Chains A and B, each alone.
Chain A
């Protein structure tokens, strides 16, 4: 995210999108019917989404204020912010937080570069375009756990061809080697997703603009930085936002590759361990709430960077 933070928020202060329809004093019959239908059609989706996320979040805040361990259900009691103090003063939590942040930043940065290269290749290649596009999407279509097992067996000391190839000594028992492998697995799996989103942005770059730049003597690199990237900025931000939030939730790869051994567990792993292994609902819920807050902060920073480019903000309204 560091490269984003340094970006001047030139478009930060944008004009408010004009409200789609000025309030009309009297609604016609058709307008009323349209409103009713609109609400009716949205209601089921809205109800499901709110019921399965809204209420549980409130419930988990409530749980996080209690001492509640399923192994000792009799000791359930309201303890205020004790759980938060316990978690936030715990070394494991901060280690996990650092690991998660590290994995997120490193893998998203690598994915952005590789994803951009891949998008350019898929967009521009002269030969075998269909083949490249199909094959490069395979990692995205593969179940994360499956891909993680593939890497696990590749780096395993018993079976691993990569271990043999690099002559490594049990890389999955070394902290930094394991983290590197986790990042590798993440990057391999999600770069196509990044490339897909970036390719949609690439398609918006007008060819004429590139030709004009080329006429004026711009080198390939100049065309990339001065023409392509500015036009693609919204697409890049969307891709970064989705991937950052996704990377912050990293769980599957770590679960399969190291099970969180040697200080490689992420905040999601910690929560899972406390909840399902430890059966400590109070602490688990506290971690849930903390992760939620962390993600909300990340999202807030990105939305600030977006300005008017945010997906929900559609100034055109209905065309």
Chain B
């Protein structure tokens, strides 16, 4: 991989050569990232007979898997649970996280370091350690197998993420604007609502997407703290799927993949999650198109 560290200064004719090498490297990366995705897609389009043929591409195509999956209430219900729980948890976590992150980034108050320390601890917390006590507590409180029973741990584990991301964003916002607002007679509270909040909106949005992905992705809490389709989310339902054939599972995965990809795309749009860099770094149209086609099905 010596090519990687080559610096980008122009050196005439060698440029083309170098471009060629980069193209090869790029292709390797793309193939690496996409193979399992394409494989799942391919499985979902295979007919039941073709599923055991061990070819990477489907030899005969069918939409039947998709039709089946949306006629099982188990899957549709799980999808509703997943979306509902993730959205509610995201909203609450982002609101609480925004408040705390603003205070951490802008205000001086006792216990600030403590809060930062605690949230760092929680970010590192082994989630499985919480499963046993939560299981017992939620059974006693009647929260077991309810939406709230999942939303609470999701908020907790999303908060450190939200606080870190948001306070980083808030630090980039020009401090002077807030001072100016205060000069003009705004209270700290007003300065927060009227000046900082609008400026921080892109950061808040990015955070919301990261948090949403976290909630959407969770599996451990989802299988431990639910027991029926009342609150079972998609990852959990997937692992219990025993439909007409075992191959309904990959079908479910596709739909979720589309959803996640769409959410992630927005994150990418707002430049979150990575240092955006100079040129608009993400090639959106190319990525968007195939997804639309599939989603329309």
Known: A37-B189, A289-B129. Contact between A319 and B122, CB under 8 A?
no
Q: Does A10 contact B (CB under 8 A)?
A: no
The residue that A252 contacts in the complex, of B105, B219, B249, with Cβ under 8 A, is: B219
Give complex CA distance A117, B99 in Å. Answer: 37
5 nearest CB pairs, A to B: A38-B109, A130-B283, A56-B133, A220-B5, A38-B107
Chain A residues with CB under 8 Å of chain B are: 20-21, 31, 33-39, 41-42, 44-46, 48-50, 52-53, 56-57, 59-60, 63, 117-118, 120-121, 124-147, 149-151, 153-154, 158-161, 163-164, 188, 192, 196, 199-200, 203, 207, 210-211, 214, 220-221, 223-224, 228, 241-242, 245, 248-249, 251-252, 255-256, 267-268, 271-272, 275-276, 281, 284-285, 287-289, 291-292, 294-295, 299, 311-312, 318-319
**B103 contacts A161, CB within 8 Å?**
no
**B107 contacts A276, CB within 8 Å?**
no
**A35 contacts B102, CB within 8 Å?**
no
Give complex CA distance A267, B132 in Å. Answer: 13
Which of A53, A59, A221 has the largest count of B CB atoms less than 10 A from its CB? A53
Chain B residues with CB under 8 Å of chain A are: 1-2, 4-9, 15, 18-19, 22-23, 25-26, 29-30, 32-34, 36-37, 39-40, 43, 51-52, 54-56, 96-97, 99-100, 102-113, 115-137, 152-153, 155-156, 159-160, 163-164, 171, 175, 187-189, 213, 216-217, 219-220, 223-224, 234-235, 238-239, 247, 249-250, 253, 256-257, 260-261, 263-264, 268, 273-275, 277, 279-284, 286-287
**A145 contacts B43, CB within 8 Å?**
no
Distance to closest chain A CB from B122 (angstroms): 6
**A211 contacts B7, CB within 8 Å?**
yes
Distance to closest chain B CB from A303 (angstroms): 9
**B107 contacts A220, CB within 8 Å?**
no
Q: Is the interface of B mostly helix, strand, loop or mixed?
A: helix
Chain B residues with CB below 8 A from A56, complex form: 130, 133-134, 137
The residue that A128 contacts in the complex, of B26, B36, B189, with Cβ under 8 A, is: B26
Give complex CA distance A158, B116 in Å. Answer: 50
Distance to closest chain B CB from A78 (angstroms): 16
Give complex CA distance A2, B153 in Å. Answer: 33
Chain B residues with CB below 8 A from A45, complex form: 96-97, 99-100, 115, 119, 159, 163
**B111 contacts A42, CB within 8 Å?**
yes
Nearest B residue (CB) for A151 = B36
Known: A161-B55, A272-B220. Contact between A34 and B156, CB under 8 A?
no
Which of B9, B32, B124, B134 has the largest count of A CB atoms less than 10 A from its CB? B124
**A268 contacts B26, CB within 8 Å?**
no
The 16 sampled A-B contact pairs (Cβ below 8 Å) are A34-B108, A45-B99, A45-B119, A48-B156, A56-B133, A56-B134, A57-B130, A134-B284, A135-B287, A151-B36, A154-B36, A199-B274, A221-B5, A245-B124, A256-B239, A268-B126
